[in-house]
């Protein structure tokens, strides 16, 4: 369908649909709402047809767990913004697998490390900042990581690392 490919890009290897103009993926169940809200110039009939094509596609993730995310060594996904300020957790889970959590805020990575890995910040507030610079901090994350995200919907939102 021509109208579909003008507005949306189907990326089968990840099982998602990306809005070309908005530059993020839209869950299939929210396509019609997305088009109504963000593309009101599109005729209502066309919006319904495009949404129907998306919702009836068997090769799209209908729930967040069905999305196939790129490996950290993969190239960036074309059509999505690339962020170079990611904070990636370097801890391992109980079985020794690396944690795949990545976000873009100090508060977010600290909350993750505290909740998931029992991290306690050794750097206390106040005091001599020059002396603190000489001490190593007990960070469980790496800064400056390249990352992207598919969705902006809270239950589907997740950053992932790319090369």
Model confidence pLDDT, tens digit, residues 45-54: 988 888 888 8
Is residue 28 within 8 A of residue 55, CB to CB? The reply is yes
Measure the CA–CA gap between 41 and 39, rounded to whole angstroms: 6
- Domain boundary residue, one of 65, 80, 109: 65
Q: Are strands 141-149 and 83-89 parallel, antiparallel or unpaired?
A: antiparallel
Residue 15 in domain = yes
Of 65, 87, 105, the residue at which a domain comes to its end is 65
Residue 129 lies in a domain: no
- Tell if the pTM clears 0.85, that is, is over it: no
CA dist 81 and 74 (Å) reads 15
29 assigned to some structural domain: yes
User: What is the domain extent for residue 148?
Assistant: 72-124+134-161
**Residues 149, 78: one domain?**
yes
Task: Tell me how many domains the chain contains.
Answer: 2
What is the band of 131 on the pLDDT scale with cuts at 50, 70, 90? low
Query: Do residues 93 and 140 both lie within one domain?
Result: yes
Last residue in a domain, options 65, 95, 114: 65
């Amino acid at each position: 369908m021509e109208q579909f490919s003008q507005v949306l890009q189907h990326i089968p290897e990840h099982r998602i649909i990306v809005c070309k103009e908005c530059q993020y993926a839209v869950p299939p169940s929210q396509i019609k709402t997305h088009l109504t809200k963000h593309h009101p110039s599109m005729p209502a009939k066309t919006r319904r047809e495009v949404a129907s094509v998306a919702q009836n596609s068997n090769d799209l993730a209908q729930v967040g767990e069905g999305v196939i995310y790129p490996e950290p060594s993969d190239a960036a996904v074309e059509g999505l913004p690339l962020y170079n300020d990611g904070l990636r957790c370097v801890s391992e889970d109980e079985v020794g697998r690396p944690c795949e959590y990545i976000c873009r805020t100090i508060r977010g990575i600290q909350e993750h490390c505290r909740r998931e890995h029992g991290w306690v910040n050794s750097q206390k507030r106040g005091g001599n900042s020059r002396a603190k610079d000489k001490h190593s901090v007990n960070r469980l994350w790496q800064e400056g990581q390249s990352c992207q995200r598919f969705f902006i919907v809270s239950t589907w939102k997740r950053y992932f690392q790319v090369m």
